[in-house]
Amino acid sequence: MSNEQKERAENMSEDTREAKADPPEEMAEMPQDAEAEQNSEKTEHDAEASEDVKKEPEEDESSRYMRLMADFQNYKKRVEKEKSDIYSYANEKLATELLAVLDNFERALDHDGEDKSFQEGMEMIFKQLLDVLEKSGLKEILALGEEFDPNYHNAVMTEDTDKYESGKVSGVMQKGYTLNGKVIRPSMVRVAS
């Protein structure tokens, strides 16, 4: 730094010291009551600002609490639904495998046997098995004569027939079943064209 710059810096620092020591004329002329009012207004303003700052976090905390409660309630509902679905469809695999047994039972009952008492016994066993499965939620999908519905029916072929209108199921090749409202096997059908 040059000497001139040092002198300027010293002069500036002296001016700032003097300014700090002597308050501006406007401030000196201001009565003490006005200063007190100004200070009290500042304190009130600061108090209001701090209350606003305090309210905002409280509101944030209460809204956060409400959001957490709602999330928890949704979680409980979702877990309860998943649990009920597990209970409802726990037997799905077993029921699906038993469908082949039901089909074979029906085929065996369609054959005319020589022994009527044996035929009656088989029908009773079949009915008992069907009742147990129905109690578990298994239901047969009604198809013959119904309107074709791709959600419940699997169209294998179409046929010309006068017996049924176009778009109606004219024949069932394999029965379909639902378990608690869910299709576990669609009906294999012929559709009238």
Element (H, E) at 153: strand 153-159
pTM to 2 decimals? 0.56
- Find out whether 139 and 178 touch, Cβ atoms under 8 Å: yes
Q: Are strands 187-192 and 153-159 parallel, antiparallel or unpaired?
A: parallel
pLDDT tens, residue order, the chain (193 aa): 556 665 665 655 555 555 444 555 444 444 555 555 555 555 555 555 555 555 556 668 888 899 999 999 999 999 999 998 888 778 888 888 999 999 998 888 888 777 888 888 889 999 999 999 999 889 999 999 899 999 999 999 999 988 998 889 999 999 999 998 899 999 999 999 8
Q: For the CA atoms of the chain, what is the radius of gyration?
A: 45
Comparing CA positions, the residue from 183, 140, 189, 185 lying closest to residue 167 is 189
Assigned CATH topology for domain 91-192: Nucleotide Exchange Factor Grpe; Chain A, domain 2 (2.30.22)
Give how far Cα 57 sits from Cα of 6, 44, 45, 54, Å: 52, 20, 19, 6
Dihedral, CA atoms, 47, 49, 51, 56, nearest 10 degrees? Answer: -170
